[in-house]
Chains A and B, each alone.
Chain A
C-alpha cells in the first residue's frame, strides 16, 4: 500500500517537502478545496446571521417558543421548528431502519443471485428519484387518504412527511447495509456454520451483533440525510409553526422554514438574518451527526483491519 512512506517517497505534508512541480501543487490545492468551501460556508452563514442580534437576543432566538416573523413585533423563536425537525427525523428513522434491515436480509440471504442483482439496480435507481417527486406523491395521494381514513383536519402532517422521507432513505440505507453485510468476514460465518448453526442463527448471533458498529454509523448518516432534507417537508409537513404534540399534527421543520420564507424576504432585514441563523442550526447539527457517524465507521474499520 502507498500509505507507508517508503524511501524516496515524499510526505507532501511535511515542512521539508518542496512541491516538485506545478502538477503537484495543483493537486495539493484542489485537495484542500473542500476545506476552503466548508470554512467559507461557515463564514457566510455567520456573516449573515450575526446582525440579527442587534434586534433579537440569542436566548430568544434559540429558546423562544414562537416563530412569527411577519407580525409586529416579529417573533423569532426557533424552538418549535427544531422540535418539529427532530420529531420528523426520529420517527422517519424509526421507520427506515427496520425496513432497511428487512430488505437487506432479503437481498443477501434469501433472494437468488439474479433477483438480488435486480433489487440492487432498482434501489440505485429509486435513490436517484428527486425528492420533490416523493413530495408530490405525499401531497396529492397520501395526504387526502390520511385525511379521509383517520378523519384528520389535514393530511399534511408529521406522519405523512416521515413516511415519504422513509421512502427517500430506504434505498440509501439498505445499500449501505448490504455493503457491510457482503463484506462481513467470511471466516466468522464459516466458523458459525461449522458449529452447526443454521443461517438464521448465524445471522442473528454472529452477523448482526458483529455489525452493530457499522449499523450505528449508518443510522447516524441516514439521520443526517433526513435532517436536512427540504423539499419533502416543505411540501407535506403542513407548514404550521406550532409544537407538534402528536404525529398527526402539522409542523414546520427548520429546512422548510428557510425554503418557504427566503423567497419573500428582503435582503438585510432581521427576518433574512434569522433564516440564515436557522441555516447555522441545521449546518452544525448535521455536521455533528455526520461526524459521529463517520467516527463510528472509522473505528469499526480500524478494528476490522486489526483482526
Chain B
C-alpha cells in the first residue's frame, strides 16, 4: 500500500468519523425529544386521565381527563378516512392503470402533487369557507372531518398509485390475455394484488391526519366540553388542539403543561401504534408475497 493511498484512506476515516458523530448526535437529540415528553408527562397518565371529562378548578389547574378529546380525534380521523379513502383509491387506480402520455394526464398528476403540497392552514380556510359557511354545516364534527378528508385525499391517491404501479405488468398482461377489459384488470386483478400495500399506506396517512391541528381550528374544534358529542353536527374536542389550548390560552399555564405532555404521550403512542401496524403488515407481506 503506497503512502498516497494511505493518506487518502486516513482522510476517509476522519471524514466518516466526523459524519458519524454528527449524525448520532442529531439522532440522539431527536430521541431525546421523545424521552423528555415521556419523562414530563408520564405522571399525569392514569385511567381517569384517559377516560373522564375535562374540568378545571378555581385556579385553572386541570383536574379531569381527556376522554372527549380522544373520542373527538378518533371520530374526525375515522370519518375523514371514510370520505377520502374510497375516492382516493379510485383516483389512484385511474392514475396508475389508465396511464397515458397525454398532456391532460400530466395536468391530472401534477394537481395531485400540488394538492398534497397545500399547507394545512389553507385547508382550514377552505374548509371553513365551504363546509362551515357555504354549505351551512357550521362548527361541527362533519365539517372538520370533511376538511380533513380533503387533506388526506392526495395522500391516499399517491399511496394507491405507487402500490398499484409496483404490481408487475405481467399480471396485467395475463388479465388482458384472458380477455379482460382495462377496468376488469384494474379492479379485479391489480387492485387485490396491491390491496395490503394500499392499506398500509392508509394507516400511515391516518396517523398524519390525527395530528393535524390547523384544519380543525376554524371548522369545529373546541377547547372545553363537559359531555361527549351526541351527533355529527356538534362541536368536538381533539387531542392536538387541546395541547395547544392548554399551553397558550390556559389561565394557569405552569399547571397545565404536564397535562399537555400527557396528551402528547397519548398522541405519540397512537402514532407509534399506527406505525407498527404498518411495519408488521409490511413484514408479513414480504413473507407471503405471491408476486
Binding site for B on A (CB under 8 A): 1-5, 9-14, 20-21, 23-24, 26-28, 30-35, 37-38, 40-41, 44-45, 47-48, 99, 102-103, 105-107, 109-110, 119, 121-122, 124-126, 128-137, 139-141, 167, 170-171, 198-201, 221, 224-225, 227-231, 234-235, 255, 258-259, 262-263, 267, 275-276, 279, 282-283, 286-287, 290-291, 294
- Contact between A34 and B217 (Cβ–Cβ < 8 Å)? no
B286 nearest CB across to chain A (Å): 13
- Nearest first, the 4 A-B pairs at minimum CB distance are A228-B119, A130-B211, A106-B23, A31-B94
Query: With A38-B114, A103-B26, A255-B214 in contact, do A230 and B157 touch (Cβ < 8 Å)?
Result: no
Chain A binder among B44-52, B61-69, B121-129, B226-234: B121-129
A134 nearest CB across to chain B (Å): 7
B91 interfacial by beta-carbon distance below 8 Å:
yes
Mark each residue of chain B from 78 to 93: 1 if its CB lies under 8 Å from any CB of chain A, else 0. 0000000001001101
Q: Which residues of A contact B117 (CB under 8 A)?
A: 221, 224-225, 286-287, 290
Residue on B nearest A287 in the bound complex, by CB: B114
Query: With A38-B115, A287-B114 in contact, do A132 and B213 touch (Cβ < 8 Å)?
Result: yes
- Contact between A276 and B120 (Cβ–Cβ < 8 Å)? no
Query: With A35-B108, A170-B26 in contact, do A44 and B134 touch (Cβ < 8 Å)?
Result: yes
- Contact between A200 and B16 (Cβ–Cβ < 8 Å)? yes
With beta carbons under 8 angstroms apart, the residue of B94, B133, B267 that contacts A133 is: B267
Q: Which residues of B contact A282 (CB under 8 A)?
A: 119, 121-122
With beta carbons under 8 angstroms apart, the residue of A33, A122, A235, A287 that contacts B87 is: A33
Q: Is the interface of B mostly helix, strand, loop or mixed?
A: helix
B166 interfacial by beta-carbon distance below 8 Å:
no
Residue on B nearest A200 in the bound complex, by CB: B12
B287 interfacial by beta-carbon distance below 8 Å:
no
With beta carbons under 8 angstroms apart, the residue of B95, B207, B272 that contacts A31 is: B95
A-B contact pairs, 5 of them (CB 8 A): A11-B100, A102-B19, A119-B27, A263-B217, A286-B118
Q: Which residues of B contact A235 (CB under 8 A)?
A: 244, 247-248
- Contact between A167 and B19 (Cβ–Cβ < 8 Å)? no
Q: Which residues of B contact A2 (CB under 8 A)?
A: 97, 99, 169, 172
Q: State in angstroms the CA–CA spacing of A128 and B267 once bound together.
A: 10
Q: Which residues of A contact B207 (CB under 8 A)?
A: 128
- Contact between B111 and A35 (Cβ–Cβ < 8 Å)? yes
Binding site for A on B (CB under 8 A): 8-9, 11-12, 15-16, 19-20, 22-24, 26-27, 29-31, 33-34, 36-37, 87, 90-91, 93-95, 97-102, 104-105, 107-108, 110-115, 117-122, 124-126, 128-130, 133-134, 150, 153-154, 157, 169, 172, 181-183, 186-187, 204, 207-208, 210-214, 217-218, 240-241, 243-244, 247-248, 257, 260-261, 264, 267-268, 271-272, 274-275, 279
How many A-B residue contacts, CB cutoff 8 Å? 263
- Contact between B108 and A23 (Cβ–Cβ < 8 Å)? no
- Contact between A21 and B27 (Cβ–Cβ < 8 Å)? no
B268 nearest CB across to chain A (Å): 6
With beta carbons under 8 angstroms apart, the residue of A1, A10, A99, A231 that contacts B169 is: A1
Query: With A20-B181, A125-B271 in contact, do A44 and B129 touch (Cβ < 8 Å)?
Result: yes
Q: State in angstroms the CA–CA spacing of A221 and B207 once bound together.
A: 21
Query: With A34-B154, A37-B153, A103-B26 in contact, do A130 and B115 touch (Cβ < 8 Å)?
Result: no
- Contact between B90 and A30 (Cβ–Cβ < 8 Å)? yes
- Contact between A110 and B19 (Cβ–Cβ < 8 Å)? yes
- Contact between B91 and A30 (Cβ–Cβ < 8 Å)? yes
- Contact between A99 and B119 (Cβ–Cβ < 8 Å)? no
Residue on A nearest B101 in the bound complex, by CB: A3
Q: State in angstroms the CA–CA spacing of A38 and B26 once bound together.
A: 37
Q: Which residues of B contact A131 (CB under 8 A)?
A: 211, 213
- Contact between B122 and A41 (Cβ–Cβ < 8 Å)? yes
- Contact between B118 and A41 (Cβ–Cβ < 8 Å)? yes
Q: State in angstroms the CA–CA spacing of A140 and B254 once bound together.
A: 9
- Contact between B122 and A27 (Cβ–Cβ < 8 Å)? no
Residue on A nearest B254 in the bound complex, by CB: A140
- Contact between B102 and A11 (Cβ–Cβ < 8 Å)? yes
Residue on B nearest A127 in the bound complex, by CB: B208
Q: State in angstroms the CA–CA spacing of A9 and B101 once bound together.
A: 13
- Contact between B22 and A102 (Cβ–Cβ < 8 Å)? yes
Q: State in angstroms the CA–CA spacing of A32 and B271 once bound together.
A: 31
A250 nearest CB across to chain B (Å): 14
- Contact between B26 and A125 (Cβ–Cβ < 8 Å)? no
- Contact between A13 and B218 (Cβ–Cβ < 8 Å)? no
Q: State in angstroms the CA–CA spacing of A213 and B157 once bound together.
A: 26
Residue on A nearest B31 in the bound complex, by CB: A122
B229 nearest CB across to chain A (Å): 19
Query: With A27-B98, A48-B129, A125-B271 in contact, do A34 and B91 touch (Cβ < 8 Å)?
Result: yes
Q: State in angstroms the CA–CA spacing of A13 and B33 once bound together.
A: 50
B1 nearest CB across to chain A (Å): 12
With beta carbons under 8 angstroms apart, the residue of A45, A122, A294 that contacts B110 is: A294
With beta carbons under 8 angstroms apart, the residue of A10, A106, A259, A263 that contacts B20 is: A106
> Quick one: which of A9, A14, A41, A275 has the most chain B CB within 10 A?
A41
B224 nearest CB across to chain A (Å): 14
Given contact pairs A227-B119, A255-B214, enumerate 15 new A-B contacts (beta carbons under 8 Å): A12-B100, A20-B183, A23-B183, A31-B95, A31-B98, A38-B111, A48-B125, A109-B16, A128-B207, A130-B271, A167-B33, A198-B8, A231-B214, A283-B119, A291-B114
Q: Which residues of B contact A21 (CB under 8 A)?
A: 181, 183
